Chains A and B, each alone.
Chain A
């Protein structure tokens, strides 16, 4: 590790010294990188690749992975049920992303223009959901939407829903809770970008004859477009992989790919099938993921995606 200090005592020839330092530096790099590289290779990359391999394995009757190779899983993915589930997963995720973006923009805009003191409070209030348990937040909605819950009673008061109508167990409930869960993560990047925006530009646009709407859409929005991409991805990718939300507030008519994976794993105990479905989900997340890497890679600053694991 002595290369860090880098100052050898004597004065060896420059060439010798340079080669030695380079070698030491390389050795140092390996020692520092190795622990995390090895861990992630073993427990992240290998499992990800194993999913693909197991798609081509048969299931054995005990719920484990059988010997030999087969195309059974690939054939069963042609099952007419699957395209409709994949399609539903995509549309629910797209609509959730759009709602989050449309809400996050004015929200983040207001936060950025608020007085300093209120700004800190607002950031805090948006951050709190990030630290609170997702399961609890989903459960809170289940209680509210329940036929005995406040929202149902409130809507009944105005005759919008009837006694027997269900607010739960449909795609709209899933959509609502998805938005509830991911909206804070869409707001934060928009706010961060809006904070850096120079609002004098806005006034200049107004002076030059823009109306408020076109100043907003032609000056403000383009300058925060990077944040909009980030915001869209932190909602869209986890939404595609949703499992708990449709499981708790959704019903049969709102199953998503995640539910099917869990069903194949825990109920049918057909691991190769689960692997095949996971393969489909991987494919549909790889493309947006490559965009993120392309946009964020090797930028001057690293941004930590403000998204939380847990009960997606």
Chain B
């Protein structure tokens, strides 16, 4: 049967559409000229300038602080939630499921304004603490869903076998459940981490003076000038992202 070429063409055009803008951005970060369509020769001067921007590095520090702490807490909360949702079927779990699921489909801006109003009503000052709370809140659902999906593939007869052989609940938890589910929990954590590092909208609503994160810094750079600097910063971020994707891909291949 002769197949239509149309899907192939859509696929190729789609890939160009996805990757050309990013490619132009990377190339331009090495452009000595300020203007994106004028090639002024190869240069690393924007990178040199970037390394002198203390506020960017301060923002990066805040971002990492929040991402690491929010990921840790949401991995614990999310894994517990997934266990509960998988193991029990009751009214409580119906409500629990709705609570976990709704943040996934809720537009960011609604979550942002809701948390801002919540903190304003309670007169809680905005800062790193409120950003941390906000990030845990949206990360929990993602971790829970990833772990829940893994639990559905999990063979619980192993647990029964362990029980028959006399293992207590803590032994089962530490020697069987956690080691076997670790890849799923880590995958959820990785997702939570990348969401936290990248979040702009919610963070923007709940951040206060002095709690600028990297996305907020990038946003103000986009709004108020210095395109070549953003090119250089973006290229660095993209490199780190690609490296992480490559590593996680390698890890997955090794397991398979």
Residues of A within 8 A of B (CB): 1-7, 25, 29-30, 32-33, 35-37, 39-41, 43-48, 50-51, 54, 64-65, 103, 106-107, 109-111, 113, 122, 124-129, 131-144, 146, 148-150, 153, 180, 183-184, 187, 203, 206, 212, 233, 237-238, 240-241, 243-244, 248, 258, 261-262, 265, 271, 274-275, 278, 281-282, 285, 289, 292-293, 297, 300-305, 307-312
Contact = CB atoms under 8 A, between A and B. Distances in A.
A134 B117 CA distance: 25
Interface in B107-165: 107-111, 113-118, 120-121, 133-134, 136-138, 140, 142, 144-146, 148-149, 152, 163
B152 A302 contact: yes
Interface string B167-207: 11110110000000000000000000011001111100100
Interface stretch (B42-50, B51-59, B82-90): B82-90
B251 interface: no
B137 A106 contact: no
Interface of B: 1, 3-4, 6-8, 10-11, 14-15, 17-19, 21-22, 24-25, 28, 35-37, 76-78, 80-81, 83-84, 87-88, 90, 92-93, 95-111, 113-118, 120-121, 133-134, 136-138, 140, 142, 144-146, 148-149, 152, 163, 167-170, 172-173, 194-195, 198-202, 205, 215, 218-219, 222-223, 227, 230-231, 234, 237-238, 241-242, 244-245, 249
B169 A65 contact: no
Contacts of A134: 198, 200
A128 B249 CA distance: 11
B6 to A, nearest CB: 6
A183 B136 CA distance: 27
Given A244-B200, A301-B149, A302-B145, A309 B195 contact: yes
5 contacts: A5-B168, A29-B87, A32-B83, A50-B118, A133-B218
A contact face: mostly helix, strand, loop, or mixed: helix
Contact of A146 (B17, B36, B237, B244): B36
B77 A39 contact: yes
Contacts of A148: 35-37
A247 B245 CA distance: 29
Given A149-B37, A302-B145, A36 B245 contact: no
Contacts of A138: 222
A37 B40 CA distance: 57
Contacts of B80: 32-33, 35-36
Contact of A33 (B28, B81, B194): B81
A219 B118 CA distance: 50
A65 B1 CA distance: 68
Most B CB atoms within 10 A — which of A33, A129, A258? Answer: A33
A302 B219 contact: no
Contacts of A7: 163
